[in-house]
Amino acid sequence: MSDKGNRSTLVGILVFDQVEVLDFAGPFEVFSTTRLDEARRAETDSPFDIRLIAEHKQVITTTGGMMVVPHHDFEDCPDLDILVVPGGRGARREISNIRLMEWLRQQSDGLSLLAGVCTGSMLLGQAGLLEGLRATTHWRSLDWMREYFPDVMVVEDEFVVDAGSVITSAGISAGIDMALQLVLRFHGQEVARAAARYMEYPFPENSRLRMVQDIKDAADRSQQIQEAHQQDDSAR
């Protein structure tokens, strides 16, 4: 897939209160750091024009307290080529946001590609945009996705799931892998690899199979260690 005409590919990234920082900042960095001619990096701009979009044009507070100012609200959002929907704690609130669901459905009609990062995939599912498709989300939310969206084929062992015009990724850092795959799709492997190399990030040779049970086991072990330390501290 290539740009429409000679203009930049317009990428919108949704933001909302308590959005996960790397969910939106990771893809933003990938798109903004991409160059078509790596040898002329300092003299050229990215082929992607990235805009942050929120329901209202006011400061957004992310998880961790970062303050973010969106470029557009729903009313003045330009016609996008790609829309990236991130997740985070705020996604559990936004899943009940009727106006957001309507906006996502409206946007999907004119997009070249729709992308969900982490629990942003849950927002796409709630808007009815994942029906009959393969999709994934953060490993802690896989059961939530299965319960809420029985018509979605939930994939638990891939970082990035490409369903054609809709692409979803696992949690947080997986959004970087997803964005690199989009660069590859729009501009080819050489450009995508150069972007990853500039970021000093390993290029995803495939969907970067993940071992969900290993992740869960590691998290359980970490929790057990923390609880043991807390018990030791309280016993002193």
Residues 55-79 pLDDT 10s: 999 999 999 999 999 999 999 999 9
Q: Which of 54-58, 87-91, 204-208, 210-214 has the lowest mean pLDDT?
A: 210-214
Q: Where are the domains of the chain?
A: 9-211
Across the chain, mean pLDDT equals 90
**CA-CA distance, 150 to 45, in Å (whole number)?**
43
pLDDT mean over 104-110: 95
Contact 91, 122 (CB under 8 A): yes
Instruction: Please give the CATH topology (third level) of the domain spanning 9-211.
Output: Rossmann fold (3.40.50)
Cα diameter, the chain: 70
The residue written with tokens 């393969």 in the block is 134
pLDDT of residue 7: 74
pLDDT of residue 205: 76
For the chain, percent of residues with pLDDT exceeding 70: 88
- Model confidence, pTM: 0.86
Q: Which of 2-16, 19-33, 62-76, 216-230 has the lowest mean pLDDT?
A: 216-230
Helix or strand (DSSP H, E) at 85 = strand 82-85
CA 184 to centroid of chain Cα atoms: 16
Helix or strand (DSSP H, E) at 192 = helix 189-199
- ∠ CA 23-29-31, rounded to 5°: 105
Contacts of 22 (CB under 8 A, 6+ apart): 172, 173, 175, 176
Residues 152-179 pLDDT 10s: 999 998 999 999 999 999 999 999 999 9
Contact 81, 9 (CB under 8 A): yes
If one compares 82 and 7, the residue with the highest pLDDT of the two is: 82
Contacts of 176 (CB under 8 A, 6+ apart): 22, 26, 27, 29, 30, 199, 201
CA 171 to centroid of chain Cα atoms: 8
CA 192 to centroid of chain Cα atoms: 17
Instruction: pLDDT band for 140, please (50, 70, 90 cuts).
Output: very high
CA 50 to centroid of chain Cα atoms: 14
